[in-house]
Structure formats: structure tokens, C-alpha cells
Structure 1
Amino acid sequence: MTLHGAGVYYFALTGAKEQAIFQSVFEYEYALKALATPPGTRLLAYVFDSHSVRLVLRCQRDWSEVMDDIHTAFDNLHERCWNKRRQVLAEQSTVLLVDEQAYLAPLVLQLHDWPRYSGKVADASLWPWSSDRWYREPHPPAWIDTESMLNLLAHSRRNRSQHYEAVMQQPVGEKLDLRHGNHPLYQALARDAFISRYLKQEALVQSAYTKDDLNRLFADACQLVAEQFGLSVADLRDPTQRRRFHHLMPLVVWLLRERGVALDELAKRVDEDEVRLELWLRNLPADHTDNVRNQLLRRWQPAPAYSSAEA
């Protein structure tokens, strides 16, 4: 399952319909400015090539809102450059929550080493569209945060850039799984203790939901899933149509779990026990493709309407 909320996230984006993201070299610089400026974010690292964008962002708001800003920025960039509008980035993407203390440093090192590892250049420092160059500078520009990672990598504040260069001369250690993360239940590069703390924070947010908030969230999720499959909400929620109900209602439960709604609250609304809901969630990836789930997540943004949940 994907985690939501403020935190450090790794994003891996590709072009829509397997097309190139960048049509010309000058677009890279424009894209970099766009990625450094989404509200409530701080850019920690990045690496581009013509068909992919990989970056690490510190987000003060939910990553799905940040992702929408990034999609809009790339669409606008293409329109300004080529005087025509198209969807630049694919709907499906990878998003991993990052346990900063344990995994930020190895993550950034692996990203920076990717051009060398993939055979594009002989040395990471030679790839121009990577934040590697700023980590080698004693005074990097203000729009990128190199300190967070360098503070973890080096024990002293002195000569950190030189220490980084020395580390990059060594073979990068064990590779992190940057598609699924390393946690058995969540899309995350994180230790169990970190996830436990994160879920406790999520529970505090959930406790701020009123009964009316939960009812509106449930209604919104049902409407979204019904529209996705060309049904009315009444048809979606019809318990007499057991096969359809058990196929589609797990998507509603999953969307609400993505917002931190507890299983006992969901059990009341779908008239199923919590054990059945856990089974639904466990089987969800087998019943619904990544593409369907990513489309729903991209459209699932009810949070701003629930002021009590943000109190």
C-alpha cells in the first residue's frame, strides 16, 4: 500500500505512451526549474534522461498533490516550447516514502551513480542532468537541499563535498529496490520502527475526522469508483450483486485506507467484518491493475474539503 502525508518521497516518472519526456536539450533546464518550485516542497536530488525523471522531494503536503503540480508543470512546459498541448508524463509512476535517517544517503548515491551504472557515462560526474554536480560544490545553489544528505554521509560539516566525491569513487553498495521499496506491506524505503511512527502520526490525523467527514469521504470514494467503471453509486453499493460488490467495493476500501480511515469505520459502511476487508486489500493487486489503481489515486483528492482532518 502507498503511504500518504508529509515526508521525504522518491518519485520515478516516465513519458506518457512510452514517449520521450524531453524533445530537446534546452527543455531539461526548464524542467529542473519547474521541479525546484512546487509549493511546499524542497528538492533533494534528481537525475534525468530523455525518457525518465527520478527525483527526491521533501514534501510538506501529500505527495499526490505534488504529483499533480508536476504533471501540470510538464504539460505547460511542452505547450510553451512547442505551441501544442499534450500529456507529457504517464499516469503510472513509482512513489516511495523514504525513511530519511536510514535510506536517504544510499538512495541519493544510487541515483547519482545511475548514469554510470547504466553505461551512459564513464563517471557519474560527467552526466550533466543530475544533482551530483551540486553535491560536489562547497556552495550549491539555494534551490537544492544537499545538506540533508551530506549531514548523514559525513560526520563533520567540514569538507563534506570532498567526502562525497571520495565516496562516489567507490563502488556503490547493495542496490535499493527503487520500484517497490524494501518494506513488505508499504511502498517505502523504511524500517519497521519508522513505519510504526508514521502510522501513529496518520492515526492522529484520522482521529480528527468527524462522522460527517467520514461519510463524505465514503460517498466521494464510491462516486469515483462508480464513474471509473460506468456504474451508478446505487449499483456499486448493491449488496445483492455479490460478484460485482466484492470486485469493486475493495477499491473504495483501499482509497479510504489511503486517507488513514480505520478498518472498523470502513466495516460499518460496507457491512463486512474487518477480516474480510483485510482479505480484500491483500487481493487488490491481483484483481485490479496498477494502471487502474494509479488512475484512481490521481483523481482521489478529497482532503482539501475536510477542514477538520487538517486541524
Structure 2
Amino acid sequence: MQTKMTLHGAGVYYFAVTGAKDQPIFNSVFEYEYGLRILSRVTGTRLLAYVLDERQMQFVLRCQRDWTEVMDDIQAAFDSMHERCWHKRRQVLSDQGVVLLVDERVALTELILQLHHSPVHKGKVADASLWPWSSDRYYREPTPPAWLDTESMLNLLVNGRRNRAQHYIDVMKAPFSPKLDLSHGSHPLYQALARDQWVDQHLKREALTQSAYSRSDVQRLFDDACQLVARQFNLTTAELCDKHNRRRFHHLMPLVIWLLRERGVHLDAMTKLVDEDEVRLQLWLRNLPADHTRNIRDKLARQWSPSAPGLTAIAAAGTVAEEPEAEPESGSELENADNSAADPAAADNSAGPDNLNAVETEAASVTPQ
């Protein structure tokens, strides 16, 4: 299947993230609570829905900034959380995942319903309401917590404001089969659950946003990316940018364009930098997975720290506060935590991002053996 291009800018995004190196994301019930707290407090976002399990997180965020910056914050926050809980530093979330831009009017309702039904379709529970690490339970409440935006979806699902929770419950009781492709989206060219016309409008809005970047900012990003790619392939930047060696230029310059695109720079702003038209740049991006392995792209993405104002990743937002360490009296606390993680249904369903004081105190006393 042809690789689709990612979209950037503010909007509603669906994320699916797994653990790094096929490891679990959550090793204890406390980490589920911390993880939910992180997702609900990322700067410049609103959490619309989520389903968490031991090895995967699926969530929907309304982002006021580009999703790459949001994911940088989330990854850093999860690394910090793991270090505080287990006194070991490791990368928790994989660099690979699914990110889909969502056309709210046509896809948001179906997306959240499919997300909430997913524990049932995976055979984890008999009914969606039984999975404790899902926003489904809050959609069933007449007064959901302030940290979760249920309004956006329920306004589309129900005409009027009366008995919306009951209407949602009735819809969830009806037979359901997944309709959305949550790996590739529904758009033929872009990673999006969206109509063609809506994507065109989003690209135009993004182009207007990009006009806020000065020409020198874009040039600085381009220079940084060229230096990184040249260093990776033992070249000078002059050799990398030499169009007389067309084979090398057309093989490596797409990596530079990809790095800039991943940071939200519009293709139109790059055409003069490489003296190629936008159609050529789109072709480069489509062929990139065939020309360069995922390992190379991942390595470049991890190493690149652009210096343009406003594009450097912000420090992790929404992380939990440090708690004083205390030695447990026995190994029973850790054993109970691990058992709770293996069986999320045993967790206290009433816990949430605004009710974590007791959880934080207990988590600080857990020391891995």
C-alpha cells in the first residue's frame, strides 16, 4: 500500500501509540493513573477520548499546536513518569505510531464509538462499560469531569442537550461493527479521516499559518536538516546540496524535505530552497519509505533538534509532581500493583486525573525488585 503523507497544524487528531521495543507501556495500576493524568494535561490540548491497555494507548486530542510538538511532550512525560515510579530511565513510548487528522463533522462520532467498543472487539471485556481505562464511562455520566471534552462528540451525536448521556448509552447498546480504518485513514493521499474538500481547506489554513514563519526561520531549519543528513551519510552540506550530482541529490534531499515537513513547514516554502516544484516534493515524500529504511528515518528524527523559534520541543507538560521516596515494608505492594496492571478491571474505577493524591502517595512507595 502506498505510504500516505501526514498532515500538520492545529486540529483534532487520533493517536495510537505502543511501547518502545515491544515492551509494555504500563507495568502497574499507578502508571495507568499517571498516564491518564499526562494525557489530560498536555499544554495546548483537550482530551476528547481514550482507551488504554498494557501495550497500547489510543486517544483523541484537540491540539492548538502541531501534533509533533504534542507527542514530544507526551513521550518526555512518560519517560519521566517511568523513572519516578521504577527508578530506572528508559524510553517508554515507541517513536512509531499512527496519527490521523480528524474531520469532526464526518468522523468524530464514529471514531469515538469505535474507540470505546475496541476492548470488546479485542475480547478483553463483554461490554464497553466494563473496561476501566476508557473514557466510555464518563460519556455515560450526566456530568462528566472537566478535564475530558465530551461535548464535541455528544453535540454531533444528539440533537439537543437533554438526556444526552442516556442517548449515548442506547447507541452503545446497539450492534456495532468497526467502519473506520484507524491505521491509514480514509483519505487517498493523507493520513486523515476526512473528506477531500475538508483536507484542501485544512492545507490552505496551514499555509496561512506558515506565513507567520519568517524566511530566515525556514532557512535556518533547512540548514539544520541539511547538516544532519550530510553528517549521517559522511558528506559535507555542499556535497549534499550539489545538484550536479543528481542521483545523490534526488536520493538524499527528500530526507531533508521530510524532516522539515514533519515540523510543519509547508511545501510551498521549500520549493525555492531546493529549486524544485511542489509536485516533485510530493513525489519525493511518497517514495521516501521505499528509498530509505525506517531505521534511518527514526534515527534522523531522534537526532534533529531544529533551532528555529517556536519549533523546539517544549518540556514535558502535565507530569506529576515528585514525591518523597519511601521503602515498602514488604514486597506485597509491588505484587499488588503488578496484579492490578495485569487485570485492569480490578482497578478502582472512580480514580481519575483529578483524584490522584492517594495514588501518588502509594506510587512513591513502590520500589521494583
**284-293 or 243-252, which moves further after superposition?**
284-293
Sequence identity (%): 67
Q: Secondary structure of the equivalent of 1:269?
A: helix
How far apart are residue 268 of structure 1 and its match? 3.0
What is the RMSD of the two structures over their aligned residues, measured on CA atoms? 2.1
How far apart are residue 56 of structure 1 and its match? 0.3
Q: Evaluate the alpha carbon distance shift between residue 107 and residue 274 of structure 1 in structure 2; reply closer, same or farther with a 3 A threshold.
A: closer
Please tell me whether residue 234 in structure 1 is matched to residue 238 in structure 2. yes
How far apart are residue 266 of structure 1 and its match? 3.2
> Which of 1 and 2 has higher RCO (CA within 8 Å, sep 6+)?
2
Over residues 150-179 of structure 1, what are the superposed CA-to-partner deviations in whole Å (9 max), with x where a residue is unaligned?
A: 111111211111111111111224421111
How many angstroms apart in 2 are the aligned matches of 1:147 and 1:274? Answer: 39
Amino acid aligned to 1:205: T
Q: Evaluate the alpha carbon distance shift between residue 300 and residue 189 of structure 1 in structure 2; reply closer, same or farther with a 3 A threshold.
A: farther
Within the candidate set 4, 7, 16, 1:12 is matched to 16
Q: Secondary structure of the equivalent of 1:66?
A: helix
How many angstroms apart in 2 are the aligned matches of 1:152 and 1:254? Answer: 36
Within the candidate set 137, 143, 161, 2:141 is matched to 137
Q: Secondary structure of the equivalent of 2:229?
A: helix
Q: Evaluate the alpha carbon distance shift between residue 273 and residue 111 of structure 1 in structure 2; reply closer, same or farther with a 3 A threshold.
A: closer
The answer to whether the Cα contact below 8 Å between 1:96 and 1:188 also exists between their aligned partners in 2 is yes
The answer to whether the Cα contact below 8 Å between 1:91 and 1:294 also exists between their aligned partners in 2 is yes
The answer to whether the Cα contact below 8 Å between 2:103 and 2:194 also exists between their aligned partners in 1 is yes
Amino acid aligned to 2:165: S
Aligned to 2:65: 61
Aligned to 1:211: 215
How far apart are residue 306 of structure 1 and its match? 6.0
Structure 1 gaps, min length 5: none
**162-171 or 235-244, which moves further after superposition?**
235-244
Aligned to 1:198: 202
Aligned length: 306
The answer to whether the Cα contact below 8 Å between 1:112 and 1:132 also exists between their aligned partners in 2 is yes
**284-293 or 86-95, which moves further after superposition?**
284-293
The answer to whether the Cα contact below 8 Å between 2:220 and 2:307 also exists between their aligned partners in 1 is no
How many angstroms apart in 2 are the aligned matches of 1:209 and 1:171? Answer: 49
The answer to whether the Cα contact below 8 Å between 1:92 and 1:290 also exists between their aligned partners in 2 is no
Aligned to 1:154: 158
Aligned to 1:70: 74
How far apart are residue 104 of structure 1 and its match? 0.7
Q: Secondary structure of the equivalent of 2:13?
A: strand
1:207-286, aligned counterparts within 5 Å? 207-258=211-262, 259-263=264-268, 265-286=269-290
How far apart are residue 230 of structure 1 and its match? 4.5
Over residues 213-259 of structure 1, what are the superposed CA-to-partner deviations in whole Å (9 max), with x where a residue is unaligned?
A: 33223212212323444443223223343332211101222333453
How many angstroms apart in 1 are the aligned matches of 2:150 and 2:120? Answer: 21
Q: Secondary structure of the equivalent of 1:71?
A: helix
How many angstroms apart in 2 are the aligned matches of 1:171 and 1:304? Answer: 50
Please tell me whether residue 170 in structure 1 is matched to residue 192 in structure 2. no
How many angstroms apart in 2 are the aligned matches of 1:246 and 1:197? Answer: 30
Aligned to 1:287: 291
How far apart are residue 283 of structure 1 and its match? 1.6
The answer to whether the Cα contact below 8 Å between 1:9 and 1:57 also exists between their aligned partners in 2 is yes
How far apart are residue 185 of structure 1 and its match? 1.0
**5-14 or 23-32, which moves further after superposition?**
23-32
Rg comparison, structure with higher value: 2
Q: Secondary structure of the equivalent of 1:220?
A: helix
How many angstroms apart in 1 are the aligned matches of 2:302 and 2:168? Answer: 37
How far apart are residue 99 of structure 1 and its match? 0.7
How far apart are residue 39 of structure 1 and its match? 0.7
How many angstroms apart in 2 are the aligned matches of 1:193 and 1:298? Answer: 34
Superposition TM-score, scaled by structure 1 size: 0.91
Please tell me whether residue 179 in structure 1 is matched to residue 205 in structure 2. no
How many angstroms apart in 2 are the aligned matches of 1:292 and 1:111? Answer: 32
Q: Evaluate the alpha carbon distance shift between residue 275 and residue 57 of structure 1 in structure 2; reply closer, same or farther with a 3 A threshold.
A: closer
The answer to whether the Cα contact below 8 Å between 2:111 and 2:180 also exists between their aligned partners in 1 is yes
Q: Evaluate the alpha carbon distance shift between residue 96 and residue 297 of structure 1 in structure 2; reply closer, same or farther with a 3 A threshold.
A: farther
1:77-88, aligned counterparts within 5 Å? 77-88=81-92
Aligned to 1:116: 120
1:17-36, aligned counterparts within 5 Å? 17-36=21-40
Q: Evaluate the alpha carbon distance shift between residue 271 and residue 73 of structure 1 in structure 2; reply closer, same or farther with a 3 A threshold.
A: same
How far apart are residue 75 of structure 1 and its match? 0.6
